[in-house]
Amino acid sequence: MAAVLGLGQALGQAQNVIDVDIFNTGEVKAIPVHIEGFTGDVLSLLKFDLFVQGFEFVERSKAQFTIKGSNTGSSVSGAVYDHLKRGFILNKRYQGGNLRLQGHTFANNVVEAVTGSPGIGLTKIAFRQFHGRNTEIHVADFDGFNAQRLTSDNSISAGPDWAPNGDMLFYYSYLKHNPDIYSHNIRTGQRRTVARFSGSNISPAVSPDGKRVAMVLSKAGSPDIWVASVNGTGFRRLTTTKAAESSPCWSPDGRFICFVSRAGGRSALYKIPANGGAMSRISTIHVSNATEPDWSPDGKAIAFTTQRGGRFDICIVPSSGGSAQVVATG
């Protein structure tokens, strides 16, 4: 029996924002699927959405699932047949909005029907883009389509980070000739100052519950990790080293903040309790000069970058530290 997903529900889902981490800590086999019936942009976005979420496309005889459907000028219909169970596990028709929205929604439903986990097809990304010598903040669908410019400061704006509800974006800007941190309401356009102290105010990272923001401030001397409420009150300094700290990110449970420090001479990963305490190093055996960490949603791993031989590589390491693996080379 087919179900209809209306425009209101689809647009409501489109506002969700999830931190997307496309990596895993072990060897996982791709899910073999066969796609038929879809055409044009819907086929392209469906294959993209599924590929980045661990699916591979094979002949029907080799597929574990067959994804079959059609797209017309105003709707998308799709079904998923499970060859092992010998039955359909999804059968829906989507109306309202546009074909891209309908296609991404169907891809999400496919991912959840097959894996049991929510799909990421309706998530958003935020990024900086050059405009001459300046950079401005933009947002787009996770596949890069529907890009929209958020700031027009004619300055340097960078380091965007989403609040969990997807309504707020935090970033820093040289709008007033100093790197200051702002919050920006995506729906209303309202912008508020979160941190404006002498020196640097950069690298905002919003906590999983959306109530606090970690950041790098140099108002006490060297760049340190600080936390405050998202409205810019209750500032608390977490690190007190003479070295430079950078790139804070939160553990999924909100208990710890991972960051980069040169306390040991070279850039390395550290973590510290979000409510204050001693910092401890996260070892990255086989990989040095760790930068730009990001905690996986399940809390088991941390992704980071490293520069080697003039190129940047992406690596992962267990969140408790240990042997690091290079998963992508620049």
Whether 294 is in a domain gets the answer no
Q: Is the dihedral of CA 275, 279, 280, 285 positive or negative?
A: positive
Overall average pLDDT of the 121-133 stretch = 96
Burial class (CB in 10 A: 0-12, 13-18, 19+), 210: middle
Whether 299 is in a domain gets the answer no
Considering the domain architecture, whether residues 106 and 164 belong to the same structural domain is answered as no
Cα 235 from Cα 229, distance rounded (Å): 7
Considering the domain architecture, whether residues 153 and 269 belong to the same structural domain is answered as yes
Q: Evaluate if residue 90 carries a pLDDT over 90.
A: yes
DSSP state of 48: H
Q: Evaluate if residue 77 carries a pLDDT over 60.
A: yes
Q: Which two tokens stand for residue 17?
A: 């924002």
Q: Which two tokens stand for residue 67?
A: 């994804």
Considering the domain architecture, whether residues 142 and 92 belong to the same structural domain is answered as no
Considering the domain architecture, whether residues 219 and 262 belong to the same structural domain is answered as yes
Question: Residue 171's domain is classified under what CATH number?
Answer: 2.120.10.30
Q: pLDDT value at position 244? A: 95
Q: What's the structural domain count of the chain?
A: 2
Question: Residue 100's domain is classified under what CATH number?
Answer: 3.40.50
Considering the domain architecture, whether residues 143 and 177 belong to the same structural domain is answered as yes
CB of 91 closer than 8 Å to CB of 109? no
Could you say which of 282, 299, 314 is where a domain stops? 282
Could you say which of 243, 260, 282 is where a domain stops? 282
Cα 328 from Cα 330, distance rounded (Å): 7
Its domain, for residue 34, covers 3-115
This prediction has a pTM of 0.85
CB of 59 closer than 8 Å to CB of 34? yes
Overall average pLDDT of the 182-188 stretch = 95
Q: pLDDT value at position 309? A: 81
Condensed to tens digits (0 to 9), the pLDDT of residues 2-16 reads 332 232 333 333 334
Condensed to tens digits (0 to 9), the pLDDT of residues 229-240 reads 999 999 999 999
Considering the domain architecture, whether residues 50 and 25 belong to the same structural domain is answered as yes
Considering the domain architecture, whether residues 150 and 274 belong to the same structural domain is answered as yes
Q: pLDDT value at position 96? A: 86
Whether 309 is in a domain gets the answer no
Considering the domain architecture, whether residues 90 and 162 belong to the same structural domain is answered as no
Overall average pLDDT of the 152-157 stretch = 96
Considering the domain architecture, whether residues 78 and 30 belong to the same structural domain is answered as yes
Considering the domain architecture, whether residues 156 and 91 belong to the same structural domain is answered as no
Considering the domain architecture, whether residues 132 and 31 belong to the same structural domain is answered as no
Q: Which two tokens stand for residue 6?
A: 């209306």
Considering the domain architecture, whether residues 77 and 149 belong to the same structural domain is answered as no
Cα 52 from Cα 63, distance rounded (Å): 18
